[in-house]
A = this chain, B = another copy of it.
Amino acid sequence: MIDKLIKRIIELQNPTCVGLDTDFNYLPDNLKEGVTGFRKATNAICEFNKNIIDAVCDIVPAVKVQIAYYEMYGVEGMKAFKYTLDYARKKGLIVIADCKRNDIGSTASCYSKAYIGKTEIGGKKARALPADMLTVNGYLGFDGIKPFVSDIIENKKSIFVLVKTSNPSGGELQNLKLENGKCIYEQMGELVEDWGKFFVGKYGYSEVGAVVGATHPEEAARLRSQMKNTFFLIPGYGAQGGSAEMLKVCFDKRGLGGIVNSSRAIICAYKNEKYKGLGYAEAARAACIDMQKDLSSTIGHMGK
């Protein structure tokens, strides 16, 4: 799946991922009017997501759907989550389920089935919440990652393991120095590079990627030079303060090596003075085009 993503980034010259972190409160007033209860709220979210997807699917390679924004509406939220995954995949987008799942092996295998594998009942296999890529947390070490790796192989999927997160307190644990001189995030990076070494695709990047925040350029630069075969999912651009200049260190000489997520700056672009007069879907498209320009002018041509 990583080759497919990189191919699409090159075709579109756009390493932008649209984050569908669709809080009901983000919706325009006309979609919120008179809405009560989880079912109606999530119907409105689905309509919003559908229109955003329609507006951007020909100019961006991928969407990232943050499951927390759906879990908070319970079962109805999960229906909307699945709808969003299904619709985005139908429209040709690569879909990253941002779930940061983690557990011991037997339990991790259930998570893997849910998002990138298949669940068997009475000899028949079916997909539960089908995504193409999944974010996971590596705090439990390799036996919590292994089940995902099995599904990567069997179902041609990818994962991204948290290495260096974009939030202000990310360093509280991640930046502590180990006895061996490395920081925890560097050690995690080393593990991730190792976990992916047998699954390197034709562009030199493996199916086991890393989450590396745009807000910490020094750390990102260190990780890029240390993790030659690891593709980065880069959150923190836009609303969280990361800029193209800050994150260009995540890319290699060919202009490859990462995909940059932006959520609020795209899906809430209609609230931005810059896009005044545009509907929310048109504003999202315009924000994606601006983001593509910003990224490509800094990173250069992708896939030289």
Chain B residues in 8 Å Cβ range of A35: 121-122
Chain B residues in 8 Å Cβ range of A36: 121-122, 124
Centre residue among A21, A103, A179 by max chain B CB count within 10 A: A103
A contact set with B: CB distance below 8 Å: 21, 23-24, 32, 34-38, 41, 66, 68-69, 71-75, 77-79, 82, 100-105, 107-108, 110-111, 113-115, 119, 121-122, 124, 126, 128-129, 137-144, 162, 165-174, 176-180, 184, 187-188, 191, 235, 240
CB-nearest residue of chain B relative to A121?
Answer: B41
Chain B residues in 8 Å Cβ range of A103: 66, 68, 100
Would you mind naming 14 contact pairs between A and B with Cβ atoms under 8 Å apart? A36-B124, A37-B121, A68-B107, A69-B110, A72-B113, A75-B78, A75-B79, A100-B137, A137-B139, A138-B173, A139-B162, A141-B171, A176-B178, A176-B180
Give the docked Cα–Cα distance between A131 and B101 (Å). 19
Q: Is the CB of A68 within 8 A of B139?
A: no
CB-nearest residue of chain B relative to A33?
Answer: B122
What is the count of identical protomers in the complex? 2
Q: Is the CB of B75 within 8 A of A75?
A: yes
Shortest distance between the CB of A71 and any CB in chain B (Å): 4
Contact A107-B69, Cβ < 8 Å, known A143-B167, A177-B179: yes
Q: Is the CB of A141 within 8 A of B71?
A: no
Chain B residues in 8 Å Cβ range of A166: 104
Chain B residues in 8 Å Cβ range of A180: 176
Chain B residues in 8 Å Cβ range of A124: 36
If A73-B119, A176-B184 are given as contacts, then 15 extra A-B residue pairs at C-beta distance below 8 Å, sorted by A number, are A38-B121, A68-B110, A68-B111, A71-B115, A74-B82, A74-B129, A78-B78, A102-B162, A137-B139, A139-B139, A139-B162, A141-B167, A141-B170, A144-B167, A144-B169
Chain B residues in 8 Å Cβ range of A110: 23, 66, 68-69, 71-72
CB-nearest residue of chain B relative to A37?
Answer: B121
